A and B are shown apart, each in its own frame.
Chain A
């Protein structure tokens, strides 16, 4: 592992280069290139490697970062937030229970409008304790005021993390941003990643110059004060505003990224959606498997398509509604469950998006892959055949648990 990273690090000194990296390695490498002023973190499977590799960069003097090995994730987010309030470019990383422990501080970080950036390796929540990938952790943080960007593979995790710095620090946004990848499926799987040079990444990122900080001795500010009923509502509303407006700036950053580095990103990716009758909406690594299913079905003459959500917060309601409007039936794939018989959170959002359309597709939800349960091409194809039957007969189950034993 060390050798691979060393090679990748060296290679990245010059121009763009391709290397085989795991998701965690790609993210740690991106963090080295970002070179944050402060990183405060705590180990948790499957995200441990990120901070472990990053601390070797610190130990070898490859970054200017002050690394704080805190005593919990709650303190990780607290210290990161404190560093950001002091004007530092500050990062942390976590997963699952760690994110759950941070939950209180996630809201505060957003409320204080601090542009902290955090990779999150998606993992199931206890109980039962399980270290494998599902989206329960980040879905629990979806209303915390963080921008949430999901990655299909290591390349996207690398690219998204770099873009996240620009997004979070955008003067019209100033909201913390998390970049996710699926635990083990991406974090520990090796694949080829194109790495930009350190210089190019740093040029793309620019420097962080916040307007006011708690280190500004001559212009002291009070941060995190108390609001009664006379101001709280306005202040909370003022956090919604930049979140709602963030979409256009996220696209601007993506356009600049594409222009510099050649890889295209949107709020979501449409795969063979132009004329699709049957579509699935998916997040994260399952999108890669779904593309194969779509290709195989297309070869058989089935008009299958796929929509992969990249930006889950802010949720692109109008854009997704438009993208799936002409489908006959759409299946939403939820890798977490609302435990209330109405599917997972992605389903709720998609249904919300199409609710007011006059002509809308039939929508159903598939809860799948909890605790890292495998999903394969055949399972996804079975979802498409369900959609064909549903479109033909109108006979549907609103929510199906896919790949679970009865």
Chain B
């Protein structure tokens, strides 16, 4: 459990002045991550993407902690190299005896798609690092193209809604479960709207002593198309509808960390986002029904994995 009073006393290692959109949740993910680290040194690597672009425009940087970006598909591999250097230098007495943590960041494009191999490899090799996916469910940096994290019927610029196509035609792949299948010590799903839950998960990830993966849904006001002040509320709706369940997998054991008191219908979540506006025109009911069925079935499967049924 995170204590907001204590956390607020920490020096911010991610500064204001970056160029993220108003209402962007990616910086919140980073700030909560740095809060979770407390005073422990953290070296951060990032894939190419919104976050990297808005925080490192030369000659400025928003990072008050060491930061490295090299390319799009290799955040995990790059940080695995940094972490290996740390182990090697420390073992040889060439590096001071500081306890350092290593974090690799990537959007869903850099994590689910192009960086998937690099992520899988780094996790399998057992590097002591945390991979954090800030998942805004499309390639937002290049202008809202579909990824394998984009939800079914979500409209993007490469899954446009047309007279014969309904938006994206596939459900997203379940990367969190895929990472859990790697048998690493800690895997979780979180969202900045539930700050305490997320910071606690980051704390566990940073201190699990091995590779960890945290998939964070990061509502994107530009790509999902909602008013910027709604970002936190929409995130809450994502968990209250069970579209984005909050859970963790600790050494293979699934545990749901938040159960909505009353599971809201998906319609409530979908209707606030312009990417689903076509579902609220005549004929869209069937699609909403299909989403509801999928969400229900995924939620039931998760409950079974967590031993709740």
Contacts and interface: CB of A to CB of B under 8 A. Distances in A.
Nearest to A212: B66
A75 B77 contact: yes
Interface string B103-132: 000000000000001101110110000000
A231 B58 contact: yes
A88 B70 contact: no
Contact of B70 (A70, A105, A216): A105
Contacts of A217: 41, 43, 65-66, 98, 100
A113 B45 CA distance: 17
A397 interface: no
A274 B152 CA distance: 74
A74 B91 contact: no
Contact of A74 (B43, B77, B100): B77
Interface string A202-228: 000000000001111100111111111
B63 interface: yes
A32 to B, nearest CB: 15
B79 interface: yes
Interface stretch (B49-57, B172-180, B185-193, B228-236): B49-57
Interface in B56-94: 56-59, 61, 63-71, 73-74, 77-89, 91-92, 94
Given A86-B86, A226-B58, A231-B58, A215 B73 contact: no
B95 interface: yes
Given A68-B80, A75-B121, A82 B45 contact: yes
A38 B70 contact: no
B74 A75 contact: yes
A221 B65 CA distance: 7
Q: Residue among B65, B74, B92, B124 with the most chain A CB within 10 A?
A: B74
B69 A68 contact: no
Interface string A81-117: 1111111101000000000000011001000100000
Nearest to B44: A214
A116 to B, nearest CB: 10
* Interface size grouping (class) on chain B: 35 or more
A223 to B, nearest CB: 5
Nearest to B98: A217
A334 to B, nearest CB: 31
* Interface size grouping (class) on chain A: 35 or more
B52 A87 contact: no
Contact of A83 (B64, B85, B124): B85
A69 interface: yes
A225 B61 contact: yes
A87 B56 contact: no
A152 B197 CA distance: 61
A110 B131 CA distance: 26
B63 A75 contact: no
A86 B58 contact: no
A71 B67 CA distance: 24
B50 to A, nearest CB: 11
Contacts of A71: 117-118, 120-121, 124
Contact of A37 (B71, B78, B85): B85
A83 B84 CA distance: 7
B89 A215 contact: yes
B74 A78 contact: yes
Contacts of B84: 38, 40, 66, 68, 79, 82-83, 88
A336 interface: no
Q: Residue among A65, A72, A215 with the most chain B CB within 10 A?
A: A215
A228 B68 CA distance: 18
B57 A87 contact: no
A90 B85 contact: yes
A231 B118 CA distance: 30
A37 B57 contact: no
B81 A40 contact: yes
A235 B45 CA distance: 21
A223 B68 CA distance: 5
A225 B57 contact: yes
Nearest to B118: A75
A249 to B, nearest CB: 25
B91 to A, nearest CB: 7
A91 to B, nearest CB: 12
A406 B43 CA distance: 58
Interface of B: 41, 43, 45, 52-53, 56-59, 61, 63-71, 73-74, 77-89, 91-92, 94-95, 98, 100, 117-118, 120-122, 124-125
Shortest beta-carbon contacts, A-B, top 4: A82-B81, A71-B121, A79-B81, A86-B85
21 contacts: A37-B94, A40-B81, A65-B88, A71-B121, A72-B118, A74-B73, A78-B77, A82-B85, A83-B88, A85-B85, A87-B89, A88-B84, A105-B71, A105-B74, A108-B71, A112-B70, A214-B43, A222-B68, A223-B67, A223-B69, A227-B58
Given A66-B88, A75-B121, A222-B68, 20 more contacts: A37-B88, A64-B88, A64-B91, A71-B121, A75-B74, A79-B80, A82-B78, A86-B86, A88-B88, A214-B68, A217-B66, A217-B98, A221-B66, A223-B69, A225-B57, A225-B58, A226-B56, A226-B58, A228-B57, A228-B58
